[in-house]
Amino acid sequence: MTNNLQATTTLYNGVKMPWIGLGVFKVEEGPELVNAVKFAIKHGYRSIDTAAIYGNEEGVGQAIREAMTEYGIKREELFITSKVWNADLGYKSTIEAYETSLRKLGLDYLDLYLIHWPVEDKYVEAWRALETIYKEGKVKAIGVSNFQVHHLEQIMKDAEIRPMVNQVEYHPRLTQQEVKIFCDNNGIQFEAWSPLMQGQLFDNPLLKEIANKYNKTVAMVILRWDIQNGVVTIPKSTKELRIIENSTIFDFELTKEDMEQINNLNQNHRVGPNPDNIDF
């Protein structure tokens, strides 16, 4: 196994998606954001995940342009994700939201565009819009976020194109096995947001014990667990050292026993909203 941040999984349409990326949720526009994205690219990250609602697409775009110039990176080496917000779900409004995100990011296309939340009576129509954008060649891959099995089934009833990715809250306390198995069986790549449970797992005795065994941090162990479970992961950090640390997970491997012990920490415990009752 190589220590390789550019390691990718292949989506069912042939697009290659890095196993690890940088998330920028709750990172406000400004130098901290620009620096974080640039640090990540400088240290080998190729995947950056943002969303319209984060209000930071312009800063992410600025960082991408500066990084490309300063580090000689080409656009096609990067994998950029954004998401359509709930208020913009609908056929025409979703297409317009995509154009707005592109404009703010200053890009010609996105590698992945997701429906952020499965808002009742809206997400099926929004999916039709994503299919249109995809068929017109304006985006490399399309998917969803926070979808449960019944949401996915609803979309796939009439869809011409099934989602390529489902990005959900996923960490050792919330393994969403039912959704993961459904995605695995249907060729939908599983992706974790909040993989470190916003730091709430750093004191977990079992995780600390496993981390000590490999001379790694708890964060590295969790991210390694993601990858070995076949889950793409996008830890958020703005600190250069942490960004580097989060990426050094390709030079060790958890045993089957470690993996099972971590899987058994599941308590179906969410830190984010429940997709079945969204009121935002």
What are the boundaries of each domain within the chain? 10-199+231-236
Q: What confidence tier does 1 reach under pLDDT thresholds 50, 70, 90?
A: very low
Average pLDDT rounded to a whole number, residues 3-27: 92
Summarised one tens digit per residue, pLDDT across range 215-258 is 999 999 999 999 999 999 999 999 999 999 998 899 999 999 99
What SS3 string covers the chain?
CCCCCCCEEECCCCCEEECECEECCCCCCCHHHHHHHHHHHHCCCCEEECCHHHCCHHHHHHHHHHHHHHHCCCHHHCEEEEEECHHHCCHHHHHHHHHHHHHHHCCCCECEEEECCCCCCCHHHHHHHHHHHHHCCCECCEEEECCCHHHHHHHHHHCCCCCCEEEEECECCECCHHHHHHHHHCCCEEEEECCCHHHCCCCCHHHHHHHHHHCCCHHHHHHHHHHHCCCEECCECCCHHHHHHHHCCCCCCCCHHHHHHHHCCCCCCCCCCCCCCCCC
Residue 120 contacts by C-beta under 8 Å, 6 or more apart in sequence? none
Mean pLDDT of the chain: 96
Candidate from 23-37, 112-126, 159-173, 261-275 with smallest mean pLDDT = 23-37
- Please compute the mean of the pLDDT values over residues 58-81 and round it to a whole number: 97
Residue 218's pLDDT is what? 97
Whether 3 has a pLDDT exceeding 80, the answer reads no
Question: Is the pLDDT score of 2 beyond 70?
Answer: no
Catalytic residue among 45, 54, 98, 134: 54
Write down the pLDDT at residue 26.
Answer: 84
Q: What CATH architecture is 10-199+231-236?
A: Alpha-Beta Barrel (3.20)
* pLDDT computed for residue 4 by the predictor: 82
Per-residue pLDDT of 196-206, as tens digits, reads: 999 999 999 99
Query: Does the reported pTM lie above 0.95?
Result: yes
Closest to 220 measured CA to CA, from 201, 239, 240: 201
Q: Is 54 a catalytic residue?
A: yes
Question: Given this model, what pLDDT does residue 103 score?
Answer: 98
pLDDT(161) > 80? yes
